[in-house]
Amino acid sequence: MQVSKKLAAQMVNIGRTTFYRHIKEKPISVGSNGKIDVSELIRVYGSNNVRTPEQLEQAKNNKNVPSGTHRNTPSIDETTQLKEEITKLEKERLREREQLTEEIENLRSSLKDSMSQNKNLTSLLTDQRELSKKDKDQEKQTETLFTVLQTVKELQEQQNIKKGIWKRLFRECSRNCVI
């Protein structure tokens, strides 16, 4: 007995679009007239999951059919496929978790290094040792040089001379001076 694709989908209790996908994936043989043999449905879905057209008609007429007599149960192939997909997703999740854990460890290490550097720089900046005479003279020279640089900068702003030349001069002066 051959039935239309729409009726075949109803007989196996799945949606029409899903059934069309199953025709390609399973594969389900379709006759030249576009109809499907009931034996083909039984081969693919099993005899327990295929209802006859009479059972479908009876279900329409009698709405008091107990639920669960013809449930939309996935086939063994679909169940296996879903389990495989779940396994793949779990593996991917584990891989991503390991990757993120590694990234967190790298960030923690970088943070520790930065905090160590920060501590060292802070200790250098707050060093309060007494300066020797040579250091004091050098500090005075640095202050004088800094004052000169500030004056040059103020003159530059006042005269509006090309910025490029003064920037280079200021940079060269800054590089050559020990602060």
Mean pLDDT, the chain cut into blocks of 10 residues (179 residues total): 88 89 85 88 86 82 56 72 92 94 92 90 70 76 88 73 62 68
Residues 7 and 60 placed together within one structural domain of the fold: yes
At position 11, the amino acid (one-letter code) is M
Quote the CA–CA distance of 79 and 49 in Å, as a whole number.
Answer: 14
Same domain, 48 and 107: no
Whether this prediction's pTM lies above 0.85 is answered by no
Of the candidates 63, 82, 62, the one whose C-alpha atom is nearest the C-alpha of residue 74 is: 82
Residue 139 pLDDT: 84
Residues 141 and 84 both lie in one domain: no
Same-domain check for residues 66 and 90? no
Give residue 104's pLDDT. Answer: 93
- Same domain? 68 vs 81: no
* Residue-level pLDDT at 99: 94
Q: What are phi and psi of 62, to 5 degrees?
A: -110, 95
- One domain, residues 142 and 176: yes
Query: Which of 16, 14, 17 minimizes the C-alpha distance to 50?
Result: 14
What is the model's pLDDT at position 2?
Answer: 87
Expressed as residue numbers, the domain containing 111 is: 74-125
160 and 137 belong to one structural domain: yes
Please report which helix (H) or strand (E) contains residue 47, including its range. none
